[in-house]
Structure 1
Amino acid sequence: MRTDRLRVAVVGGGANSEHEVSLASAAAVRTALGTSYDVVPITLTRCGGWQDREGRPLGVLGAVALLSSCDVVFPAVHGPGGEDGAIAALCALAGLPCVGSPASAGATAMDKHLTKLVAAAAGIDVAAGVLLSPATAGDYRWSGPVVVKPVAAGSSQGVSLVAAAADLEAALKEAFVHDDRVLVEEVVHGREIDVAVLGGRDGERLVAPPLEIVGPGIFDYATKYDGSADLRVPAAVTPDEEASLAAAAVRMYDALGCRGLARIDFFLTAEGPVLLEVNTMPGLTEHSQAPRMFAAAGIAYPDLLGRMVADAVR
């Protein structure tokens, strides 16, 4: 039965390696929105199927029908098949308001190679590197420390820091497990700083205090989710550094055509920010990076999610 409260479909899961992370985000979003909205849970299975709140299969037509019974869709799905714009495209075809970036922005941001091209065109520094496929990987010659990463995987899966030539083959093999295109980039020496941007009405861009990830090596999958990460917000940066990070983040947000919430990750070097990646649907538990940053700005977690829903409805 319909109530006078806004009906929000919260989609979690996904047919990718970030399935469990997405389930956690969706559960947190449902709980936070549940006090103010009529929340309808929908799950994408690991095999790509759709399920309702009781776990019953819906099929694509059933899923669209259930989504269409809602006022707005909140896709808390990270990685391919969600964050890459797939759900946003489905909603656009069905004429449904959808929280977050449109399909074009999600697809471009999910592709780290395309993201670097957009960043360079927008005047934002990126790491030097090459794009490899299984057919061209054998021609690559290691000449110093590099970072190997899949083009379209999330949560740092398949990412390796290669300090010796003997380790390159294994790193490439692991990266190709996650994608058939791989970036090999020069190592950037700097502090890893994340910036969260929230779009709003009339072109408003709200930038939260930056967050620093402190620690040696790569911020890998295990460190992201086992609670051991040293995340400091606000990051200890100078006013000029914070201004340059915020400007680069907003420039990237607008160059990609993002909407709603996005997290833009940088290395802060002596020469300024160097883009690492863009997440158009970042982790969304209350303790994830972007919500932590907005909490530091005085925007509580339920309020952050409410603003995202309101922006989509508008």
Structure 2
Amino acid sequence: MKQKVGLLFGGKSTEHQVSLQSAKSVYEAIDKDKYDVLLIGIDKNGNWNLYNNLDTCLLNINNPNKIALRKSDKRLAFFPGKKRYSLFEWPSAAPFGKIDVIFPLVHGGTGEDGSMQGLLQLADIPFVGPGVLSSAVCMDKDIAKRLLRDAGLSVAHSFTFTREMKNTIQFNKLKAKLGTPLFIKPADQGSSVGISQVETANEFYQGVNQAFHYTNKIIVEETIAGRELECAVLGNDFPIASLPGEVSKKQSFYSYEAKYINEDGAQLMIPADLNDSTIQKIKKEAVKAFKALHGEGMARVDFFLTKENRLVINEINTLPGFTNRSMYPKLWEASGLSTRELINTLIQLALERQKNNDTLKS
């Protein structure tokens, strides 16, 4: 009997369209001889909609700028309490039945910050990727940096500011401590949303205002001069790392548009042109970072490699994109694991974790 896999995507965040692209790619690659695939699209109002296939689900399916979720007359509702049978169709209120595993592809806030993972955990539905703790920690760049430093890993120097501190932020003091250009980042957004790289005081305060549009906490960070490298990690208790890849950007930094919209915004070199000792060092540090932040299932670890051959961790993404331009599946392809095999491995890792959790006393 085929296992029923629910692809959960869309959402209310600024990364809604990226999520739709990821869902399209996973749906097309997943082994349909092994899995019955259910499409669950979350619209921008937060409704969970049910679809039979991509044609009934997505509009402008091949246009990243215009891809959108179609309306559906079937929705999914969640009622806590009934183990693994907590989902009901709306408006009929008919029990939906068992879903063997959910593959979350909801990028951005509420999708990869632990919120969605907590809901699925309450519903007792196995899901791909890390749990509540790792998702929440990795989404918060400030907290992740602290834990990585404690594990002996290098991160860029930065200062953190919350909204109530906004009027105390001074460009000249930060410039003296961190140099220029400076990065201004929302602490809890992904895909380069709300990020600015600035040189002048005027640019700086504009960047601060922009970042606070997306969050209540920002970080101001030094710029690390170096090659931008990414490494994919896969596994639960015994994670492994892929060959690293390199991003050669054509803008000042790897922006949201370069990642997902403009195919000419950056060149991806997979695998990266590195000597064997550097490759092994990157793989080792990627796994170390994954473990330090309690990773499970998957993550992409992003590094800077300086001229002095120093590795600095930029960030860890626990729900990396699966679009046709995304590094995570491409890195595994270069390492000998096809996207179809990768998806199957991720699903089995989710079921393995659930089986282990079921043996624990509550």
* TM-score relative to the length of structure 2: 0.82
The one of 118, 136, 140 equivalent to 1:89 is 118
Alpha-carbon deviations, 1:237-284, whole Å to 9, x = none? 222221221111101101111111110111112252111111101001
User: How many residues were matched structurally?
Assistant: 309
Asked which structure has the greater CA Rg, the reply is: 2
Classify 1:186/1:72 alpha carbon distance in 2 versus 1 (closer, same or farther; 3 Å): same
CA distance in structure 1 between the aligned counterparts of 2:76 and 2:130, rounded to whole angstroms: 25
CA distance in structure 2 between the aligned counterparts of 1:74 and 1:68, rounded to whole angstroms: 17
**Percent pairwise identity:** 33
Give the corresponding residue for 1:217.
252
CA distance in structure 1 between the aligned counterparts of 2:86 and 2:139, rounded to whole angstroms: 24
Classify 1:187/1:287 alpha carbon distance in 2 versus 1 (closer, same or farther; 3 Å): closer
**TM superposition shift of 1:45:** 1.5
The one of 96, 112, 135 equivalent to 1:106 is 135
Alpha-carbon deviations, 1:108-167, whole Å to 9, x = none? 101111110111011111111111123223222222311000001111011111112221
CA RMSD of aligned residues (A): 1.7
CA distance in structure 1 between the aligned counterparts of 2:86 and 2:299, rounded to whole angstroms: 26
CA distance in structure 1 between the aligned counterparts of 2:33 and 2:24, rounded to whole angstroms: 14
Give the corresponding residue for 1:65.
87
CA distance in structure 1 between the aligned counterparts of 2:170 and 2:278, rounded to whole angstroms: 36
Unpaired segments of 5 or more residues in structure 1?
none
* TM-score relative to the length of structure 1: 0.94
CA contact (8 A) 1:50 1:60 kept: no
CA distance in structure 2 between the aligned counterparts of 1:271 and 1:294, rounded to whole angstroms: 24
Unpaired segments of 5 or more residues in structure 2?
53-71, 89-95, 353-362
CA contact (8 A) 1:233 1:293 kept: yes
Give the corresponding residue for 2:5.
8
Give the corresponding residue for 2:41.
43
Give the corresponding residue for 1:298.
336
CA distance in structure 1 between the aligned counterparts of 2:297 and 2:334, rounded to whole angstroms: 18
The one of 18, 22, 25 equivalent to 1:25 is 22
CA distance in structure 2 between the aligned counterparts of 1:179 and 1:277, rounded to whole angstroms: 17
Classify 1:68/1:100 alpha carbon distance in 2 versus 1 (closer, same or farther; 3 Å): farther
SS of aligned partner of 2:99: coil
SS of aligned partner of 2:75: coil
Give the corresponding residue for 2:165.
136
Counterpart code for 1:177: H
CA distance in structure 1 between the aligned counterparts of 2:2 and 2:287, rounded to whole angstroms: 33
Alpha-carbon deviations, 1:20-45, whole Å to 9, x = none? 11111112212222343101111111
Give the corresponding residue for 1:242.
279
